[in-house]
Amino acid sequence: MDFSLSDEQKAWQRKAREFSENEIRPLSVARDQIEGPFDPWHWDLIEKGSKLGLRTMAVPKAYGGPETDFVTQSLVMMELAKGDSAMSKAFSQNWKWSHLIAHACTEDQKERFLKPFLADHRYLMGRGITEPNAGSDNRLPPKEDPKAGFKLRAERDGDDWILNGEKCFIANGSVGSLFFVDARTDPSVNISQGGTLFLVPKETPGFRVGKLFNKSGWRFYQNAELFFENARVPHANVVGEVAGGSTKTGDGDVTGGDLFGDLELASNAVGVCDDACGLAMSYACSQNKAGKPLIDHQIVQVRLGEMHMLTEALRSFTLRVAWEHDQGHRSASGVLMVNFSSDVILRVTKLNMEIHGAEGCFMNARVEKLVRDAEIWPHLAADTVLRMKAVSKLKRPDTSNA
Amino acid sequence: MVDLHLSPEQIEFREMVRNFAANEIRPIALKPERLEAFAKPFLEDLLSEASALGLRTLMLSEDAGGVGGDMLSACIVLEELATGDVDISVAMGRTMLLAHELFDVVQMSDGQRKKFLDAFHNDQTFHLAYTGGDPNAALGWHYHDGAVSDDAVLPSANADGDDYVIDGTIEHVANAPIAKLFAVEVNTGSGASVLLVPRDTDGLSVSEPSDVVRGEFVRWHHGTAAKVEFKSCRVPKENLLGVDGKNSVHSSDYFVRDRLQRAAINLGLGQVAFETTVDYAHIRHQGAKNIVEHENIGAKIADMASKLELARTMIWKAAWAIENPDAVGQGSLSNLPLDIVASTYTAQSVLEISEIATECFGAMGVMRDMPLHQFVHDSLVFAHGDGHDIATVLRIAESAVGYSRAFAA
């Protein structure tokens, strides 16, 4: 076993750390405390990070990107999230779809979408799958109900498809230039057989952004409703095959869907936990209770120990999975890792809050923010549904090609 | 002999407050603008409506013109009120308890009693505040350490003719924004004493309720509170409560009752999180059925229901213990600080319940225009603030192992 990082990996890590400390962290709490769903957003930060390559780092070399590996991407997300979890996600969300374009799109699509993505520092991407009545059903479609899952309809009209329906909670919804949209091309069968993935640029006629969601945590990160009213999308924008292209992302075998998505949340969680550990240690060393430093109290020591133990375990798990992904090894480890990350981030951020405690009738704002950010995890991809999904993967034979 | 029947009066009161919380408070408390984490205005009008139901005088003795409800009744009512809004319940609980403490428990002179009790009865918006803190609040940090001194810095009250002149500032006084009478813990030179100070006294000023965000900090308490300042504030010596140099509140069970009240309010928060989840589980359809029919949702509901039941049982038992102080010596109850057992268990359990509730709501669980995130926030304040920190349980341990502190504060 070799745990050493390459010079290139270390260089990316260093660059991300500097950007996180100098640009992200100073904005973090202030942006979080701005009211309104859109207002915490900050284009300047995105542009600055983009100029350092942090928006486009997953684009393959063949298309002008740096083609970083999963380990590097994981390391960078950890660093960015240590400054601010939501800001890290705003960058890494684009890597997810860079992976998808690289692995699942045609040369023509790469030409049409990767080039403008690389050229424009404000070009962001998202994917629309969730609908008001289709959340868990998209991730774990019930066998007994073929109609379950997304309902957004796509009907063929000559060289185009006409899309009608709505999506909700869509990442980068209010700021995205390009969306991957899951639609039903055949509503009579389940989403695995009748679902198709479309590339929908924001200027598509009949497409518009609806309500922006005002979240308790991850306030910087944008989520919105997307409406499709006779939205006309050319057939050339179908990703993969009609009736089948959509669900491949769910299997994580050809695209950035689960494969990157799991890694993204787990790596981000490591960054948040690193921040929590740092805050707790510095507080415990600087404050006194009952005449002695907080860190000299046993009840504080066991908590600090647990925080670091869980954080290091998550870091190891995450980097191992990143490395496995880089070797082309596919297993249930990704989903188990993201399940674990949810438990760890919730526990570690709350232990940090326990160590700080209230100061009079006030609480340290960053400590409180980390808990709110952590509370996003069980709602994203590490809830009970995803735990059950892990079992469906464990039941399958290992698809390793390593 | 154990009898767990509630009295007809307790059941009637509970129904009344339950309906009030559901029909009057919740529709207003759950308006999206109130769910903004950084601006949560206190619903003073609804507090007045709750007062009109007679809740301010629930614990006040019948002799003093009150309802004469016991601690258990107070816990039942405050739990229900909290299902509407935690802050209203906390503010009401404070006035309810102080009315009992000041007019029934500590030795008010006949003159004081007549003057302030009449004013209290005649004005539904007459609330009460006490500026002192629990001297035992941080005792857990001194686990098995006898050398504890109470180093609270109190406002000074210097005798001047027939008056005391008070100077000093207290950063955080619960109910200060709404109180018309303050019981002020002061140092008269003879030690900690309590002076009764009407709100309109010259030299007493109450600041605006604290901002939600203050520099590197966010507001972290329930109810309504503010800073209180005394500048050459002159009150007649006849406003001294009890004896000079003695704070009678310290020798009463005020802080035990206060802790238990907050546990009951915390429980109400858990109850409403539970009910909200069950309602939603009946209508949310995923996985080919309403989610209430899924095993994993069932397991969560069972967990929530069990935790609520255990917390309520402990709170009620501790409430009964307050009215039956002989029960420990007689062997019916354990010699433990049951109020702390109840409040720490409830705080931890309700936090877990609130988190389960948000998970069941999926993405809606973290949206500001839904109440779920507020349940989590309010639970966190109870669990990691409001009289609780990680050392609080060590007070249970000291009792359990029979440790007695020679110089307890």
ipTM at complex level:
0.95
Say if residue B258 is in the same domain as residue B220.
no
Of A212-226, A387-401, B41-55, B347-361, where does mean pLDDT reach its minimum? A387-401
Say if residue B162 is in the same domain as residue B287.
no
Q: What are A75's two structure tokens?
A: 């390391």
Alpha carbon distance B59, B323 (integer Å)? 12
Q: What is the CATH number of the domain that holds B84?
A: 1.10.540.10
Predicted local confidence at residue B159, as pLDDT: 96
Predicted local confidence at residue A360, as pLDDT: 85
Say if residue B256 is in the same domain as residue B396.
yes
Alpha carbon distance A356, A350 (integer Å)? 10
Query: Is residue A402 over pLDDT 60?
Result: no
Predicted local confidence at residue A251, as pLDDT: 46
Q: Is residue B409 assigned to a domain?
A: no
Alpha carbon distance B187, A383 (integer Å)? 55
Predicted local confidence at residue B382, as pLDDT: 97
Contacts of A121 (CB under 8 A, 6+ apart): A46, A47, A50, A51, A55
Q: How confident is the model at residue B394 (pLDDT cuts 50, 70, 90)?
A: very high
**Cβ–Cβ gap B390/A300 under 8 Å:** yes
The domain at A7-123 falls in which architecture? Orthogonal Bundle (1.10)
How many A×B Cβ pairs under 8 Å? Answer: 138
Q: What is the DSSP letter of B46?
A: H
Query: Is residue A267 over pLDDT 60?
Result: yes
Nearest C-alpha neighbor of B27 from the set B46, B44, B10, B6: B46
For residue B299, the enclosing domain spans 250-400
Predicted local confidence at residue A248, as pLDDT: 55
Confirm if B56 and B96 have CB atoms less than 8 A apart: yes
Using one digit for the tens of pLDDT, what is the confidence trace for B281-295?
Answer: 999 999 899 999 999
**Chain A interface, mutation test: which of B211, B212, B220, B285, most A Cβ atoms within 10 Å?**
B220
Say if residue B15 is in the same domain as residue B60.
yes
Say if residue B226 is in the same domain as residue B287.
no
Query: Is residue B99 over pLDDT 50?
Result: yes
Predicted local confidence at residue A85, as pLDDT: 98
Predicted local confidence at residue B387, as pLDDT: 87
Query: Is residue A266 over pLDDT 50?
Result: yes
Using one digit for the tens of pLDDT, what is the confidence trace for A333-358?
Answer: 888 999 999 999 999 999 999 999 99
Q: How far is CA B126 from CA B179, B206, B312, in A?
A: 6, 15, 30
**Highest mean pLDDT (candidates A334-343, A380-389, B32-41):** A334-343
Q: Count how many domains chain B has.
A: 3
B352 CB neighbour count, 10 Å cutoff: 15
Say if residue B287 is in the same domain as residue B385.
yes
A374 to chain B, minimum CA–CA distance in Å?
11
* Residue B384 sits at the chain A interface (C-beta within 8 Å): yes
Query: Is residue A12 over pLDDT 70?
Result: yes
Predicted local confidence at residue B409, as pLDDT: 42
Predicted local confidence at residue A400, as pLDDT: 46
Say if residue B194 is in the same domain as residue B219.
yes
Assigned CATH for A126-245: 2.40.110.10
Predicted local confidence at residue B148, as pLDDT: 75
Q: What is the CATH number of the domain that holds B270?
A: 1.20.140.10
For chain A, give every domain's residue range. Answer: 7-123, 126-245, 256-395
A64 to chain B, minimum CA–CA distance in Å?
36
Q: Is residue B299 assigned to a domain?
A: yes
- Choosing from B192, B225, B248, the residue where a domain stops is B248
Q: Is residue B80 assigned to a domain?
A: yes
Using one digit for the tens of pLDDT, what is the confidence trace for A127-163?
Answer: 888 898 888 888 888 888 888 899 999 999 999 999 9
Alpha carbon distance A115, A101 (integer Å)? 11
Say if residue B159 is in the same domain as residue B110.
no
Q: How confident is the model at residue A109 (pLDDT cuts 50, 70, 90)?
A: very high
Predicted local confidence at residue B207, as pLDDT: 93
- Looking at every residue in chain A, the average pLDDT score rounds to 91
Spell out which residues of chain B touch residue A133, defining contact as CB-CB under 8 Å: 285
Three-class DSSP category at B38: coil
Query: Is residue B1 over pLDDT 80?
Result: no
Query: Can you tell me the mean pLDDT for A84-94?
Result: 97
Query: Is residue B146 over pLDDT 90?
Result: no
Say if residue B269 is in the same domain as residue B310.
yes
Q: Is residue B69 assigned to a domain?
A: yes
Say if residue B169 is in the same domain as residue B203.
yes
Beta strands in A74-151 (DSSP E): 125-128
Using one digit for the tens of pLDDT, what is the confidence trace for B175-223?
Answer: 999 999 999 999 999 999 999 999 999 999 999 887 777 778 999 999 9
Query: Is residue A246 over pLDDT 80?
Result: no
- Choosing from B63, B93, B125, the residue where a domain stops is B125
B253 to chain A, minimum CA–CA distance in Å?
23
* Residue B220 sits at the chain A interface (C-beta within 8 Å): yes
User: What does A252-313 look like in DSSP terms, one character per residue?
Assistant: TSSSSHHHHHHHHHHHHHHHHHHHHHHHHHHHHHH-EETTEEGGGSHHHHHHHHHHHHHHHH
Q: How far is CA A308 from CA A179, A275, B72, in A?
A: 38, 11, 43
Say if residue B254 is in the same domain as residue B358.
yes
| Bridge pairing between strands A195-201 and A178-184 | antiparallel
Spell out which residues of chain B touch residue A297, defining contact as CB-CB under 8 Å: 141, 391
Residue of A nearest to B361 (CA): A379
Query: Can you tell me the mean pLDDT for A19-40?
Result: 95
Predicted local confidence at residue B363, as pLDDT: 87
Using CB atoms, which residue from A289, A361, A371 is nearest to B221?
A361
Say if residue B350 is in the same domain as residue B265.
yes
Task: Please calculate the CA angle B308-B310-B314 and round it to the nearest 5 degrees.
Answer: 115
Q: What is the DSSP letter of B32?
A: G
- Size of chain A in residues: 402
- Choosing from B195, B223, B248, the residue where a domain stops is B248
- B 267-286 residues with CB < 8 A to A: 285-286
The domain at A256-395 falls in which architecture? Up-down Bundle (1.20)
Determine if the pTM surpasses 0.90.
yes
Confirm if B291 and B374 have CB atoms less than 8 A apart: no
Alpha carbon distance A57, B166 (integer Å)? 65
Query: Is residue B63 over pLDDT 90?
Result: yes
Q: Is residue B226 assigned to a domain?
A: yes
